[in-house]
Copies of this chain bind each other. A is one copy, B any other.
Amino acid sequence: MRVLRYLLIFIPVSLITEFLHFSQPLVFVFSALAIIPLAGIMGESTEAISHFAGNRIGGFLNATFGNATELIIAFFAMKAGLFDVVKASIAGSVIGNILLVLGLSMLAGGLKYKTQHFNQKVINVTASMLLFAVIGLTIPAVFTHTVPSQLLNTRYEGLSVIVAVIMLLIYVLSLVFSFFTHKDLYAVETAEEAAPKWSLKTAIIILVISTVFIGIESEIFVGTVEPMTKAMGLSEFFVGIILVPIIGNAAEHSTAVLMALKNKMNVAIEIALGSSLQIILFVTPVLIFLSLMFSPMSIIFNTFELVALLFSVLIANRVASDGESNWLEGVQLIAAYIILAASFFIL
């Protein structure tokens, strides 16, 4: 989305306002607006590099760094001790991808084309892995929520690490599945027909620079969350589950909608569901491992997050099961997101 580029102006704006100790809610907004185009540029540079790296390694790079922005924001939030914001933003990314991104794509595409079709087999693999991943995430939480809290917390951390290891293993195996043993399944649906606009060297330089700036902006952004929530009367939970994911995923979201408008539903759905899957199977375990450097973060989500995750995944599976989409399905997904967001807001 070329138009997002104009938001780059918010990099200097956010830096200056932060430096001059402007009101924190203002800095919050500016740094958020700065992250949006940076995430887009980082994504494009990763794609360009992937193009040079050949199909397999390229696909791997793309898959692994696709959610780098979320990872960086979450890392700084974790460093600042905002564990609840981190976990809320993980859940919110998945929910937002499934309900909002998929919903907007199906609505936008469905208004242009009466019925849109997608490769049921591929999407089924992703949707079914998503169900597994969310259930895997839910199991330890259900157990710890029902057990009296006198049990030692270290146990939960042990369980979190076990689950994280299993998730990461499944992630690696899913890459083996899609790039090696069953790669023909995925043969049809490549998004990238265009030649990359940058040379490999330029792409790497752009990747490094955008990553550095995302880091800087994320640290500023995270630092403003607490004063901003107090000033605005919002809960940190709401910021984590609704605002952070929208900021971190804005670039991706617009790509998905664009693809739907081009009637490339395979790509649109794969962006939404694949990205969700990556967040659970890759970003979450990595964050759990990184947290061991500071103070260990457990993988235990709260009831709201789990219910929202489970419902989102059930809906995703239902919507994906027939290989077709229309505008009404899109509306339903968006409506579910709005009901969720309203509930989170009112909490």
Contact = CB atoms under 8 A, between A and B. Distances in A.
Contacts of A308: 139
A174 interface: yes
A116 interface: no
A347 to B, nearest CB: 6
A331 interface: yes
Nearest to A342: B162
A311 B135 contact: yes
A162 B132 CA distance: 32
Contacts of A170: 331-332, 335
Interface residues of A, number: 59
A329 B139 contact: no
A21 interface: no
A138 B304 contact: no
Interface stretch (A55-63, A201-209, A319-327): A319-327
Interface string A164-180: 00100110011001000
A298 B66 CA distance: 42
A218 B304 CA distance: 39
Interface string A332-346: 100110111011101
A319 B182 contact: no
A158 interface: yes
Nearest to A127: B318
Contact of A347 (B147, B163, B340): B147
A138 B346 contact: no
